[in-house]
Amino acid sequence: MPKAILYLEDGTSFIGQSLSTTGETAGEVVFNTAMTGYQEVLTDPSYAGQIVVMTYPLIGNYGVNPEDVESKGVHVKGFVVKEFCRRHSNFRATQSLIAYLNENKIIAVEGIDTRALTRHLRLSGAMKGMISTKDFDLKSLAKKLKAIPSMEGGNWVKEVTTKKKYIWKSEGKKATKKPRFKVAAIDCGIKFNILRILEQHGCETHVFPANAKFSEVMAIKPDGLFLSNGPGDPAVVTDVIKLTKQAAGKLPVFGICLGNQIVGLALGGKTYKLKFGHHGANHPVKDLESQRIGITSQNHGFCVDMKSLNPDEVELIHMNLNDQTVEGLRHKKFPLFSIQYHPEAAPGPTDAQYLFDEFIRMMECHKKKK
């Protein structure tokens, strides 16, 4: 296997081996603490622009299959593990993870001490990095890395949003009954399972690009507005922030992940970058109303500053128990709430499914008032 180097912007480097895909790639280096779900990680648009380090030492043991993808492609810039499994075993698998990564031309590296790398990122924070199989000169890599933009201020949503509006339909499935609700979903990097769950709840989901105008959304006469997950800095996704401001009080609104940050910004708040982000499937979150604690899946590098919001209008409804950061917001007057983590990812596995039920209840009330 070709030799590979992972070079970080603070000058730290790690040597490993690449799979058959060679060359160079760069992005923000983050670590993910999930033990499974690597295919969902690779195809989650929220990872656009990032090199992902998996903390679990053996990755690929159950292969990959076409049913578990979360989008139409692989979005990570690179993939780093301690060891790739050569002999996968699962009745649903259609190919190995190694073959899948090579098919999608993703530079993947193994043999790196991922414990040391994770600890370094944990202490120093997520940072830009470059993987190379052809250039091992540290000065040269440092020069190349300086030209790579950081996640702050970069509009990665433009890279992953749909180009045209469409109506979601699960492949190979026919609608068994007429949809009860019409939902306008703003695609900032939406995951397929969110769309599947909305469909299961009786929603006809119209998926709009991130630059959609409020008038275009209202033209379909929706019962509710959904704001999706997505990559990068929420503060630069100005079209969606503007749309959310216009929709607040006029439509029921539900946001997930980046959608939570968009809600915070639309309601007059601010966001900030976390030191190393939340990436994994084992984050404890407390529902402050029910006092229940759920095990959640998370993938974000930015957070809403609760102190920047008006407490007379907005309340904190969910809190991260690891660092007490914002995990959920709700408007006190309007039918509007948002969640920072991923209820559709189901690590609980059903700890957070009730949140979709809450969105349905809001739309039912809204329809009755029409």
> Per the domain annotation, does 365 fall within a domain?
yes
Does one domain contain both 127 and 249? no
Does one domain contain both 142 and 176? no
Does one domain contain both 199 and 273? yes
Residues 6+ apart with CB under 8 A from 290: none
Among 75, 201, 300, 342, the active-site one is 342
Does one domain contain both 13 and 99? yes
End-to-end Cα, the chain, rounded Å: 64
Does one domain contain both 106 and 187? no
CATH number of the structural domain spanning residue 227: 3.40.50.880
Among 257, 300, 327, 331, the active-site one is 257
Model pLDDT for residues 220-256, shown as the tens digit of each residue? 999 999 999 999 999 999 999 999 999 999 999 999 9
Average of per-residue pLDDT across 40-54: 97
What are the Cα distances from residue 198, in Å, to 29, 225, 288? 32, 12, 25
> Per the domain annotation, does 152 fall within a domain?
no
Average of per-residue pLDDT across 267-280: 97
Give the total number of structural domains in the chain: 2
> Per the domain annotation, does 12 fall within a domain?
yes
Q: Of 146, 169, 201, at which residue does a domain stop?
A: 146
Average of per-residue pLDDT across 96-119: 97
Mean pLDDT of the chain: 95
Residue 369: pLDDT band (50, 70, 90) is: confident
Q: Decide: helix, strand or coil at residue 136.
A: coil
Residues 48-75 as b or e (16 or more Cβ within 10 Å = b): bbbbbbbbbeebbbbbbeeebbbbeebb
What's the pLDDT score for residue 151? 87
What's the pLDDT score for residue 140? 97
Q: Is 203 a catalytic residue?
A: no
Model pLDDT for residues 4-14, shown as the tens digit of each residue? 999 999 999 99
Residue 150: pLDDT band (50, 70, 90) is: confident
What's the pLDDT score for residue 176? 55
Among 40, 70, 327, 344, the active-site one is 344
Domain residue limits at 72: 3-146
Residue 176 sits at φ, ψ, to 5 deg, of -85, -20
What's the pLDDT score for residue 177? 66
Model pLDDT for residues 162-186, shown as the tens digit of each residue? 999 999 998 766 655 689 999 999 9
Q: Of 102, 122, 146, at which residue does a domain stop?
A: 146
Average of per-residue pLDDT across 37-54: 97
Residue 300: pLDDT band (50, 70, 90) is: very high
Does one domain contain both 209 and 142? no
> Per the domain annotation, does 305 fall within a domain?
yes
Looking at per-residue pLDDT, the higher value among 153 and 218 belongs to: 218
Number of H helices, E strands in the chain: 10, 19
> Per the domain annotation, does 231 fall within a domain?
yes
Does one domain contain both 239 and 329? yes
Q: Decide: helix, strand or coil at residue 258.
A: helix
Distance CA 177, CA 192 (A): 21
The lowest-confidence range among 48-57, 142-151, 199-208 is: 142-151
Average of per-residue pLDDT across 191-205: 96
> Per the domain annotation, does 83 fall within a domain?
yes
Task: Give the chain's length.
Answer: 370
Does one domain contain both 175 and 109? no
> Per the domain annotation, does 151 fall within a domain?
no
Residues 6+ apart with CB under 8 A from 370: none
What's the pLDDT score for residue 199? 96
Does one domain contain both 165 and 108? no
pLDDT of 322 above 70: yes
Residue 353: pLDDT band (50, 70, 90) is: confident
pLDDT of 41 above 70: yes
Q: Of 99, 118, 146, at which residue does a domain stop?
A: 146
Residue 285: pLDDT band (50, 70, 90) is: very high
Model pLDDT for residues 69-85, shown as the tens digit of each residue? 999 999 999 999 999 99
Does one domain contain both 202 and 58? no
Does one domain contain both 306 and 276? yes
CATH number of the structural domain spanning residue 37: 3.50.30.20
Does one domain contain both 15 and 128? yes
Q: Is 85 a catalytic residue?
A: no
Model pLDDT for residues 126-144, shown as the tens digit of each residue? 999 999 999 999 999 999 9
> Per the domain annotation, does 219 fall within a domain?
yes
Q: Is 344 a catalytic residue?
A: yes
